[in-house]
Amino acid sequence: MHVHILGICGTFMGGIAAIARAAGHRVTGSDRNVYPPMSTQLAALGIEVTQGFEAAQLSPAPDVVVVGNVMGRGMPVVEALLNSNIPYASGPEWLAREVLHDKHVLAVAGTHGKTTTSSLLAHILECAGLAPGFLIGGVPGNFPVSARLGNGRHFVIEADEYDTAFFDKRAKFVHYRPRTLVLNNLEFDHADIYPDIAAIQRQFHHLLRIVPGSGQIISHAGDAQLAQVLAMGCWTPVADFARQSQAPAQWSAQVPADSDFSCFTVLHDGQPQGQVQWQQLGGHNVDNALAAIAAAHHAGVPVAQALAALGSFAGVRRRMELSGVAAGVHVYDDFAHHPTAIATTLEGLRRRIGAARLIAVLEPRSNTMRMGVHSQTLAPSLAGADQVFVYAPPDLGWDASVITVPLGARAALATDIPALLQALLAAVRAGDHVLIMSNGGFGGLHSKLLAALAERHD
């Protein structure tokens, strides 16, 4: 079968392409921005990618067109597709029909931690010999790819609540029909799609409605918004998780006081199961670990085996990833796109580095941030840093000084990348830790800073 994918260079659609290729299909695709690393990954798989969305790419006609949610009416290829008789489907619909229908699907949903928890879960199942398939919205350190078909009956998927396609405005995750469902947390996000938290909660409840009674829902015990979703109606057994400092739970963790969360004890029904020692930091990652352990347990993995697997977990690209060290300055890359994620990431790094100077650099790039939804909560989330730099491009659409003014003299704005780079170079010194946060490439700021620091040092 010839599968043609529109919007192929996104992480999710690129994963669909890799899975379709592994299933034996001929795969082609197109996108507006075709560049590494996704373009090289697709080329390595033998997938031909067309630049742009012109109608000619549908001739000769493929057997099916998979439509990414970046596509919309008015695009030439979309109009040609609708005028033709070529079958088409969204990415989630195609995946559910062609791949997930006979799998034990383990889905990870929530506002934060989906990518890390999915990566943890896939790694645990792999260490247990279950050879899972997976589709993850990031690059897990323990695998060379973000998606694979797998040889076993288990499939781990990062279950996003973003809408499915221009012709299907349901959340992506309702297509997946999970047997094991993780609910990490729930906060307001995706303001470009949802008007309020209640609208997101309704989508999450639609997801609960399709989890079978023989399955399991694994939910964060300390999350009030999730509790409200469960109260709307639940027909599946629920196992909850939380750190002991958060709430009582079936799966819990004891964390030594003032630690950086790289060591903790896991308890099940109050009984110690063993200790985890790993390279991750931050309380949010302890939560992610508990969720993954519980989900793997439902899939039949003994707790001791899961705990052992965590010790070799290599993290996820762009999740508190050390980009490099130059002139005694540590530079980190983090995907943080929400005030809660920013605060927890800063807290974890602070606990690890102690009294060393922590410099936070933020690009408010997500759709929700660019709409100014989080403008009033960003300053408090950055309060744990010694110095703060905020990138505010001219087209941001709101006054980013609402972030910097409450932080006083330790915060500064920059309106272009070169100016931001020069301000950072003037501020940093040996021993500093610079945390650069964006859900995009941030103009290559990480590598530019490291190169400039190395040159200055030489």
Q: What confidence tens digit (pLDDT) does each residue in 190-229 have?
A: 767 888 999 999 999 999 999 999 999 999 998 999 999 9
In a domain, 380, yes or no: yes
Task: Summarize the confidence of residues 431-453 as an average pLDDT.
Answer: 86
In a domain, 46, yes or no: yes
Question: Is there a single domain that holds both residue 202 and residue 330?
Answer: no
Structural domain count, the chain: 3
Rounded to the nearest 5 percent, the helix, strand and coil shares of the chain are: 35, 25, 40
The answer on pLDDT for 319 being more than 80 is no
CATH code of 142's domain = 3.40.1190.10
Among residues 261, 286, 310, which one ends one of the domains? Answer: 310
C-beta separation of 290 from 310 below 8 A: no
In a domain, 293, yes or no: yes
CATH code of 397's domain = 3.90.190.20
Residue 276, beta-bridge partner list: 264
Question: Is there a single domain that holds both residue 262 and residue 329?
Answer: no
CA angle 446, 451, 457 (to 5 degrees): 125
- Closest C-alpha among 157, 158, 160, 182 to residue 172: 160
Question: Is there a single domain that holds both residue 66 and residue 103?
Answer: no
Measured CA distances, 118 to 34, 245, 325 (Å): 26, 24, 29
pLDDT at residue 66 in the model: 98
Question: Is there a single domain that holds both residue 89 and residue 129?
Answer: no
Residue 333, beta-bridge partner list: 321, 436
Here the tokens at position 349 are 């790094």
Question: Is there a single domain that holds both residue 306 and residue 336?
Answer: no
Question: Is there a single domain that holds both residue 200 and residue 332?
Answer: no
pLDDT at residue 372 in the model: 62
| Cα–Cα dist 109/182, whole Å | 6
- Return the DSSP state at 316: B
Stated pTM of the model: 0.85
Q: Which amino acid is at 448?
A: K
In a domain, 315, yes or no: no
Q: What is the pLDDT of residues 166-187, one digit of tens each?
A: 999 999 999 999 999 999 999 8
Question: Quick one: CA dihedral 285, 287, 290, 296, positive or negative?
Answer: negative
| Cα–Cα dist 144/122, whole Å | 13
Q: What is the mean pLDDT of the chain?
A: 90
In a domain, 433, yes or no: yes
Question: Is there a single domain that holds both residue 413 and residue 345?
Answer: yes
Question: Is there a single domain that holds both residue 129 and residue 249?
Answer: yes
High-pLDDT (> 90) share of the chain, %: 61
pLDDT at residue 28 in the model: 96
Question: Is there a single domain that holds both residue 120 and residue 89?
Answer: no
In a domain, 431, yes or no: yes
Measured CA distances, 274 to 229, 242, 252 (Å): 32, 16, 12
Question: Is there a single domain that holds both residue 262 and residue 149?
Answer: yes
Question: Is there a single domain that holds both residue 103 and residue 77?
Answer: no
What is the domain extent for residue 122? 99-310
Among residues 93, 113, 139, which one ends one of the domains? Answer: 93
Highest mean pLDDT among 112-126, 307-321, 377-391: 112-126
Angle between helices 91-98 and 11-22 (to 10 degrees): 30
CATH code of 63's domain = 3.40.50.720
Question: Is there a single domain that holds both residue 262 and residue 248?
Answer: yes
Compute the radius of gyration of the chain from its Cα atoms: 22
Among residues 288, 310, 332, which one ends one of the domains? Answer: 310
